Chains A and B, each alone.
Chain A
Amino acid sequence: MSMANAVPSPATAVPDPAHIAIAGVSKTFRSRTGEVHALKDIHLDIRRGEFVSVLGPSGCGKSTLMMLVSGLVPASRGTITVGDKTIDRPNADVGIVFQQDVLLGWRSALQNVMMQAEIRKTDLEAARERARQLLKMVSLEGFEDAYPKELSGGMRQRVSICRALLHKPPLLLMDEPFGALDAMTRDQLQLDLMRLCADNEMTVFFITHSITEAVFLSDRVVVMSPRPGRIERILEIDLPRPRRLAMREDTKFTHYTRELTDIFRGLGVLREEEV
């Protein structure tokens, strides 16, 4: 069966080597109940500054793929390189938003964000200033000193987004960061995220369940299918930037969402349910 093979980066004016190269990567978990082939033979190249979304049903290996790219979990087979580094250990040149917020209960919102600077031993004054700005950006002004237990799930996730952005990472890995948010906050944060990416030339690996979100944000959408987790299709999203909320009603946009919906219907993931 022909895997959706590494779609070569489209010819750009300057031939930019792949920033992230995922080559023949597989991941098998061994547990008491047997082996789980979470990922099988994944090939994916991501350019510097590219925004790539990974879309797929629950359990298809999206989080696993992100963990492999971060180096926090080793691959069973294949190689991953980021820049000129082969990823065989945790890569600290990233910002990560995990699927769970992973806030530290003994630190306030601001202190949780500041952890990033404390561990990296960067200028704390400047970092605190930036942390406050980021919290303000995600509408958490006034909650700087609140402890995680005093925050809602969506608020906690927003704190963890700020933490991932504090050190201006060249590579941002986000696992369903907007999953716990209401539609309006989500729209706002999508716009903010795209602006931040443009300003800082960040490469983003973004996991989502939402087809609209994937199309709206991405340069490319990677569609995965489960058991074993593999790449089903890679869809190039050719919409101009900066993107505007109104674009979501454009025919070109709806064309993309329809195409993705059809893919999932074809995979049997969707059985006539609106996403």
Chain B
Amino acid sequence: MAAITEAGADARPKSPLRFLSAVSPAIWTLIALVIFWEIAVRVTKTPVFILPAPSRIAEVFAATWPRLMINAGLTLSEVLIGFSCAVAIGVPLAVLITYSRLAERCVYPLIVASQTIPKVAIAPLMLAWFGYGLTPKVVIVILLSFFPIVINAVVGLKSSTAEMLYLAQSMGASGWQTFWKFRLPQALPNIFAGLKLATVLSVIGAVVAEFIGADQGLGYLIVVAGASFDIARQFAAIIMISAIGMVFFAVIELAERIVVPWRDTNTIHAEA
């Protein structure tokens, strides 16, 4: 019986939704932690301005819901615009670096070296240049998320083996065909690894940018709540930020499972 169940479970890994069941133990752990937090705060009678109980945070969350949503929408748009721009610049640049020795030698070292500059430190500069609107936030998001996208795409595009390229040549493949049918599919797992890193970084970028200079957005809410020691409100905003990050990550993960179904390294044995 057990074997049959196993086989049944094995036949399913192609389903893009499988990862939901993979994270469910983590959800239970999270719930346990929240309950522990609630009990601990109540038992120790911790004051609200130090650490509010989850139930208190939930109340504040519900009470400020419309305001949270409006600001979350703004932060999300900064994240999405910045991330999309980073992809739109990063992937073609990776292609250029892969194909052009000159571009590789001129640009690649600079991109890598630029990583030693703490992006957070240049955020005020972006403000000075681009003002307080959407632009400086988007630019900071691009700066943060761009790097993992380029690096991983380059690694992926270069991971085509000599034999694979020989095979393409022996079929008379054009440069275009070699790219679309050999190099790009080969690179997709790496490209997605870069995208997933970039989702996390782009959320960080948007929030940090809002810390430094904004009059709306979730980062701004945290700053304002912090100024008045309103810990519960800070938590409410943090939860929103995490939710954006998680959903964004999950969407990319889902896209990966649809676009790169062969990525799953679990061996699936064909049934005899």
Q: Which residues of A does B touch, CB under 8 Å? A: 67, 70, 72, 90-92, 94-96, 98, 100, 102, 104-106, 115-116, 118-120, 143, 146-147, 149-150
**A102 touching B267 in the complex, CB below 8 Å, given contacts A72-B169, A119-B171:** no
Query: Is B89 at the interface (CB under 8 A from chain A)?
Result: no
**A94 touching B163 in the complex, CB below 8 Å, given contacts A106-B262, A150-B268:** no
**A100 touching B167 in the complex, CB below 8 Å, given contacts A106-B262, A115-B181, A119-B181:** no
Number of interface residues of B (CB under 8 A): 23
Interchain nearest-CB distance for B258 vs A (Å): 13
> Using Cβ atoms and an 8 Å threshold, which residues of chain B touch A91?
170
Residue in A102, A104, A119 whose beta carbon sits within 8 Å of that of B177 in the complex = A119
Query: Is B173 at the interface (CB under 8 A from chain A)?
Result: yes
Q: What total count of A-B pairs have CB within 8 Å?
A: 62
Complex Cα distance, B173 from A158, in Å, reads 22
Q: Are A90 and B163 in contact (CB under 8 A)?
A: no
Query: Is B172 at the interface (CB under 8 A from chain A)?
Result: yes
Complex Cα distance, B166 from A102, in Å, reads 10
Q: Are A72 and B164 in contact (CB under 8 A)?
A: no
Q: Are B166 and A106 in contact (CB under 8 A)?
A: no
Interchain nearest-CB distance for A67 vs B (Å): 8
A/B interface sample: 10 pairs, CB < 8 A: A90-B169, A90-B170, A95-B170, A96-B167, A102-B164, A104-B186, A106-B186, A143-B270, A149-B267, A150-B267
Residue in A95, A106, A120, A146 whose beta carbon sits within 8 Å of that of B270 in the complex = A146
Give the one of A70, A100, A104, A150 with max B CB within 10 A: A104
> Using Cβ atoms and an 8 Å threshold, which residues of chain B touch A94?
170
Q: Which 9 A-B pairs have the closest CB atoms?
A: A92-B172, A90-B169, A119-B171, A102-B163, A106-B262, A106-B185, A119-B173, A72-B166, A96-B170
Interchain nearest-CB distance for A114 vs B (Å): 11
**A120 touching B171 in the complex, CB below 8 Å, given contacts A106-B185, A150-B269:** yes
Beta-carbon nearest neighbor of B188 in chain A:
A106
Query: Is B168 at the interface (CB under 8 A from chain A)?
Result: yes
Give the one of B171, B173, B177 with max A CB within 10 A: B171
**A105 touching B167 in the complex, CB below 8 Å, given contacts A119-B172, A119-B177:** no
Interchain nearest-CB distance for B14 vs A (Å): 10
Complex Cα distance, B166 from A96, in Å, reads 10
Q: Are B262 and A70 in contact (CB under 8 A)?
A: no
**A72 touching B170 in the complex, CB below 8 Å, given contacts A104-B164, A150-B268:** yes
Q: Which of B118-170 contact A (CB under 8 A)?
A: 161, 163-164, 166-170
Query: Is B182 at the interface (CB under 8 A from chain A)?
Result: yes
Query: Is B260 at the interface (CB under 8 A from chain A)?
Result: yes
> Using Cβ atoms and an 8 Å threshold, which residues of chain A touch B161?
102
Q: Are B163 and A98 in contact (CB under 8 A)?
A: yes
> Using Cβ atoms and an 8 Å threshold, which residues of chain A touch B167?
96, 98, 102
**A104 touching B185 in the complex, CB below 8 Å, given contacts A150-B267, A150-B268:** yes
Complex Cα distance, B264 from A149, in Å, reads 10
Interchain nearest-CB distance for A9 vs B (Å): 26
Complex Cα distance, B260 from A72, in Å, reads 30
Interchain nearest-CB distance for A141 vs B (Å): 13
Beta-carbon nearest neighbor of B264 in chain A:
A149
Q: Are A119 and B270 in contact (CB under 8 A)?
A: no
Complex Cα distance, B13 from A149, in Å, reads 14
> Using Cβ atoms and an 8 Å threshold, which residues of chain A touch B163?
98, 100, 102
Complex Cα distance, B124 from A41, in Å, reads 68
Seed contacts A70-B170, A72-B166, A104-B164; 14 additional CB < 8 Å A-B pairs: A92-B172, A94-B170, A96-B167, A100-B163, A105-B262, A106-B185, A106-B188, A106-B260, A116-B171, A119-B177, A119-B181, A120-B172, A149-B268, A150-B267
Interchain nearest-CB distance for B82 vs A (Å): 30
Q: Are A115 and B166 in contact (CB under 8 A)?
A: no
Q: Are A104 and B182 in contact (CB under 8 A)?
A: yes
Residue in A67, A100, A102, A118 whose beta carbon sits within 8 Å of that of B181 in the complex = A118
> Using Cβ atoms and an 8 Å threshold, which residues of chain A touch B186?
104-106
Beta-carbon nearest neighbor of B269 in chain A:
A150
Q: Are A115 and B270 in contact (CB under 8 A)?
A: no
